[in-house]
Chains A and B, each alone.
Chain A
Amino acid sequence: MRVVLITGAAGDIGAATAEAFGKAGFSLALLDRRDPSLPAGCDGVTLACELEYPEAVAAAFGELEARFGRLDALINIAGINHRAGVRQMQLADWNRMLKVNVGAMFLTAKYGVPLLERGQTPAIVNMASISGYVASADYPAYVTTKAAVESLTWGLAGELGARGIRVNAVAPGWVAAGFTRAALETALDPATLQDAARRAHVLGRMAEPEEIAKAILWLASPKASFVTGETLFVDGGLMRVH
């Protein structure tokens, strides 16, 4: 049975991704800072883990090695957001963003690569965002970390390709879930939000978490066997709207 590790598995996109991999027959290793739950009828393990601490990540991978002995897919979804312009940025908030959104992906790769090398057609998929490309006066830390995720992805692809590990990223637009929905619902009334979402995307709406999960599952599957170092935009055409 193939084994997938999913970080941020307690969030909306993480939970949808866990369900998609579970239905595809994977054993699930689900990580989040609060204990995530296994989807009904799926095999696997859940671990509470503060991903920005190297000791915690090393311990989690120790447990996974003992339990599964290998890893076939590593899916990095965990991420946080912080609202503050550059000129108002507090260094502690900035550092936490860099650690959770980027550092954690470095750490899971650092400890995960030896397990992935024992996997079948192994792959890493990292959560990037269209945010890596846009001018955003309110969220520079988020934009910085999401652009960093893409270069991390490309760097890892170069380093791990010869060892048979593919590394790609998924870049969603607005997802009707998690902190995106929370932020939008705080800022806008429902009618305005719906109108903004319609105007922001060629498809005229936000994505459902399941639509991001499907893209991740495809990139991690042997169907994407010649795809590496790539960012798959799942943004309903957001990047093409002007």
Chain B
Amino acid sequence: MGWIAITGGAGGIGRALVRAVQDAGWRAASIDLKENLGADLTLVADVTEEAAVAAALTRIGPVVGLVSIAGIGAHGRVEDFSWADWQRVMAVNVTGAMLSMKHAQMQPGGAIVLTASISAHVATEGSVAYHTSKGAVLGLMRAACGEFAPLGVRVNAVSPGWVDTPFTQQTLGNPADSATASVAAGEKNLLGRMAHPEEVAEAMLFLLSDAASFITGTELVVDGGYMRKH
């Protein structure tokens, strides 16, 4: 049934996707700074280092799917935000996605899924680097769908809202407040709760699958109605 390469495969969404991919009959290869022993192959690599990304994807070999999830956040008002932090967010969230696509050995009929965010669309305080990086991911997805179409490879993005993962908890504040923070995050969307990571993984799995055979260059928003709540 073939391999799916997943960057950020040891994070909250990544772990859920590894399980979903396996349940669908594919084999999952995780590329992350940490191991995911639940994956069929787990490789430790920093997505910003081209040699490491190339080595990992060579090791995995031909794939029917690539899902780029690896990403970081960073907080700070624009006047106080350092150039080094800015560069790091862009490197992981944008360049990491580009490098994964560059080196993935995509098979015809395969699909690429990038992870954008509702952050690409909204204005908030103190997240300007994250907003920018996620908009960049959408641009990369739109450009790449043109490049990969002649190869028979579709390219799409999933944009989660708040997802109940360690990444989000870290963004929302210290662990003692996490229950309160979760409720607050849930109040920001129509469904009144954060997404479970499995719900984001399901959307990625759909875009990987033949059920999405005519879908390319599209963003699938999985935000519980965050973008429609006023």
Q: Mark B120-149, 1 if CB is under 8 A from A, else 0.
A: 111111111111111111111011111111
Closest Cβ neighbor of B146 among chain A residues: A135
Indicate whether A134 reaches chain B with its CB closer than 8 angstroms.
yes
Indicate whether B65 reaches chain A with its CB closer than 8 angstroms.
no
Q: Which of A126-159 contact B (CB under 8 A)?
A: 132-137, 139-140, 142-152, 154-159
Closest Cβ neighbor of B120 among chain A residues: A151
Q: Is the CB of B128 within 8 A of A106?
A: yes
Hey, which chain A residues are within 8 Å of B78, CB to CB?
A: 106, 109-110, 113, 156, 159-160
Hey, which chain A residues are within 8 Å of B127, CB to CB?
A: 155
Indicate whether A222 reaches chain B with its CB closer than 8 angstroms.
no
Indicate whether B8 reaches chain A with its CB closer than 8 angstroms.
no
Indicate whether A223 reaches chain B with its CB closer than 8 angstroms.
no
Closest Cβ neighbor of A89 among chain B residues: B102
Hey, which chain B residues are within 8 Å of A160, CB to CB?
A: 78
Indicate whether A107 reaches chain B with its CB closer than 8 angstroms.
yes
Cβ 8 A contact of A102, one of B77, B102, B136? B136
Q: Is the CB of B131 within 8 A of A151?
A: yes
Cβ 8 A contact of B86, one of A86, A106, A154, A156? A106
Task: Using A143-B140, A159-B126, A229-B123 as known contacts, say yes or no to A151 and B135 having CB atoms under 8 A apart.
Answer: yes
CB distance from B131 to the nearest CB of A (A): 3
What is the total of A-B residue contacts with beta carbons within 8 Å? 151
Hey, which chain B residues are within 8 Å of A149, CB to CB?
A: 135
A-side interface size class = 35 or more
Closest Cβ neighbor of B49 among chain A residues: A91
Closest Cβ neighbor of B130 among chain A residues: A155
Q: Is the CB of A103 within 8 A of B131?
A: no
Indicate whether A85 reaches chain B with its CB closer than 8 angstroms.
yes
Q: Is the CB of A136 within 8 A of B146?
A: yes
Closest Cβ neighbor of A107 among chain B residues: B83
Q: Is the CB of A147 within 8 A of B90?
A: no
A-B pairs, top 4 by smallest CB distance, nearest first, are A151-B135, A158-B123, A147-B139, A135-B146
A152 and B127 CA atoms in complex are apart in Å by 10
B-side interface size class = 35 or more
Closest Cβ neighbor of B134 among chain A residues: A151
Q: List 14 A-B contacts (CB under 8 A).
A: A54-B83, A86-B144, A89-B98, A95-B95, A102-B132, A106-B132, A135-B143, A144-B136, A148-B136, A154-B123, A154-B135, A155-B119, A158-B124, A160-B78
CB distance from B190 to the nearest CB of A (A): 20
Task: Using A113-B79, A140-B147, A148-B133 as known contacts, say yes or no to A155 and B140 having CB atoms under 8 A apart.
Answer: no
A107 and B102 CA atoms in complex are apart in Å by 29
Q: Is the CB of A103 within 8 A of B90?
A: yes
Task: Using A147-B135, A148-B135, A152-B132 as known contacts, say yes or no to A140 and B124 having CB atoms under 8 A apart.
Answer: no
Closest Cβ neighbor of A160 among chain B residues: B78
Q: Is the CB of A156 within 8 A of B128?
A: yes
Hey, which chain B residues are within 8 Å of A139, CB to CB?
A: 143
CB distance from B226 to the nearest CB of A (A): 14
Q: Is the CB of B98 within 8 A of A135?
A: no
Closest Cβ neighbor of A99 among chain B residues: B87
CB distance from B24 to the nearest CB of A (A): 26
CB distance from A131 to the nearest CB of B (A): 8
